[in-house]
Chain A
């Protein structure tokens, strides 16, 4: 558990998003504070991932407000690339750059965006690899790594931009069960360091352990929101009760 401050990092109000005729997010409002760890739970198709992807505008939304770090994400005039530099994202399928080795995966963005010169970027990349326990894999290519290693590299890659928010889109869903632990360990460590994180996950136990707040989504709405204990163990809404009965 981390201590949250009173600075709102991410402000979402009445967010609405459709893919064609399909309305995926109907009316989402919430505030996420600096240093807070929020886990989003819910059945498939409830809009969890879409919601997460709206936070760095990987998905454009139709109406509502998303303010991250003071930037209004709906505003076409903001430099979205600059805003994204401060929002790390980790994907379900890792998405490591297949054409680059691990070290270059980590160095690409900092060097390309002139955040650091090559030497500094390399030092930082090696430090991050050590942090996720993969110092020996700097020269390996993504296809030579296991799923758990790939995801840890992906986390290290995001951290190399020194983001102050991290978004995780089902970071362990594509992993073999035995590799889930090593990835969760890295996320746990980030939580302890006070990183602001939004995690879409199906790991209920992990959510209870690491999250300051849990959000249960269904059908494009936030159905329940509160401490993990409240949401997971004592849900009030029938849809949430039903869901947690099945997964617990």
Chain B
């Protein structure tokens, strides 16, 4: 095991970096998608709510590995052969899109639930003072919704971070993909997968500790 660490340690660390890069990019766009669709789902407009529901149903109903294949192979194929437009997606681009769509759908549901958990009286009180819908949302409803959302959002972040391993199937050199190469070279699958497991464990445990601290700092009405 020591041997593998000294020879392949740097490579694995770099792969972990790629995993984190992919996760961060995916999460960034997932947050944007989640906020847009989440807010759409609480609007009065029925069209907006239906669009969000369809988006969530599709993403929830398709395994991410299928989504990743579809985006990486299927979409460029359609562009090149059916539309006659040249198009290539790198594994990072396709992976980011797959992660963002997948995580974004779940995020939008988390945001919807968070906003709906805030008592309607809060919005009514703000509106009765003359604040517009969006100002009331921004100053009163969202700050309260975010507090209840944080634990679930962090949980979703962790799931997404782990889901990056699925994207090894489209050849992105993240941790699992790299580990497979290392196993092929060393034949020591026990040590390699143990090391990889510990690497994931360290990152994710750190993330959940940060989440706990954040949650505690943001709480204003919890008894000490």
Contact = CB atoms under 8 A, between A and B. Distances in A.
Question: Do A and B interact with each other, yes or no?
Answer: yes
Interface of A: 56, 58, 81-82, 84-85, 87-89, 91, 93, 95-100, 108-109, 112-113, 141, 143, 154, 157-158, 161
A69 to B, nearest CB: 13
A109 B130 contact: yes
B119 A95 contact: yes
Contacts of A113: 129-131
Nearest to A110: B129
Given A81-B132, A108-B139, A112-B131, A97 B126 contact: yes
B72 to A, nearest CB: 43
B129 A157 contact: yes
Q: How large is the interface on B (under 10, 10 to 19, 20 to 34, 35 or more residues)?
A: 20 to 34
A84 B130 contact: yes
Question: Chain B interface mostly helix, strand, loop or mixed?
Answer: helix
A99 B143 contact: yes
Contacts of B132: 81
B140 A99 contact: yes
Nearest to B142: A99
Contacts, number: 71
B221 A84 contact: no
B148 to A, nearest CB: 11
Contacts of A154: 125
Interface of B: 119, 121-122, 124-132, 135, 139-140, 143-144, 147, 220-221
A93 B221 contact: no
A97 B138 CA distance: 12
Given A97-B140, A98-B144, A58 B221 contact: no
20 contacts: A81-B130, A84-B128, A85-B129, A85-B130, A87-B128, A89-B128, A91-B125, A93-B121, A95-B125, A97-B125, A98-B122, A108-B126, A108-B129, A112-B131, A113-B131, A143-B220, A143-B221, A157-B129, A158-B129, A161-B130
